[in-house]
Structure 1
């Protein structure tokens, strides 16, 4: 497991985000470190004001202190080597430094025919349009998309449709009340359904 250790300049707390007006860069960095933990990276933070002995115990950081007097803090250390200094890297830089592979989705990919057809399949199911579903199924199949990919897109569309139906029925119940029992389509109160009704 990769371990990233951040050697912070003197701060009032371990993250520097306490107080009435926290530095937004420190808040952003704290959130990025939490994200890094979810990617399987071990993260440690060492505050010069609270743990100066740990700065001296890390050879690379001690050399940095001797060189700059602490002006180049923070320092990020991975495997005993300083990989960044003098600023808090943004999330993409943290991921690269820690060797975390992230999905880089480009605008060209999002606009590709395959993605558009999968979106269209989901939209066709959500809209309840059989003709659109058949058309986009054939187009997606022609592009080489698998049945599993198309099935997942359709399932998402079905979930959207079900959620919309549930929502509108809830609004209907709130505005005009529940359904009344009638002879049409049976129901608990109907002895026999009306012929040809359902």
Structure 2
């Protein structure tokens, strides 16, 4: 199984989906990653603010940052190889890399709710 790692720029929270104005692209990526993780795929996100040691220890990402600076983020690796710099992967790219259908990354979670109402 392939491993996808997304190295995010510094953000206010782990997904970037917070604050008064949320970037729809970050919402899409967070949703796709969540869907993939729930299905058992090896997809990880690292954020510069929260995981600086991961950025320093990952030579390929470290090289991109030294060469292009922090504006190169996000950096996306598939099996430790740089596949994308400066933009997030599309759902189609994630699907292709992991061998799933792109539609699976946009499915809304199905929540079952049961109520036990007692008459009084």
Question: What is residue 11 of structure 1 aligned with on the other side?
Answer: 11
RMSD of aligned residue pairs (Cα, Å) = 1.8
1:26-105 → structure 2 map (5 Å cutoff): 26-96=26-96, 98-102=97-101
**2 CA distance for matches of 1:23 and 1:79?**
27
| 1:22-43: CA deviation from partner (whole Å, max 9, x where unpaired) | 1111001111112222443112
Higher RCO structure (Cα 8 Å, ≥6 apart): 2
**2 CA distance for matches of 1:48 and 1:38?**
24
Question: What is residue 137 of structure 1 aligned with on the other side?
Answer: none
- Tell me the number of residue pairs that the alignment of Structure 1 and Structure 2 aligns: 103
Distance verdict in 2 for CA 1:103–1:6, change over 3 Å: closer
Distance verdict in 2 for CA 1:71–1:103, change over 3 Å: closer
Normalising by structure 1, we get a TM-score of 0.48
| 1:112-159: CA deviation from partner (whole Å, max 9, x where unpaired) | xxxxxxxxxxxxxxxxxxxxxxxxxxxxxxxxxxxxxxxxxxxxxxxx
Moved over 4 A (4+): none
**1 CA distance for matches of 2:44 and 2:101?**
21
Structure (1 or 2) with the larger CA radius of gyration: 1
Q: Which runs of 5+ in 2 are unaligned?
A: 104-120
Structure having the larger proportion of residues in helix: 1
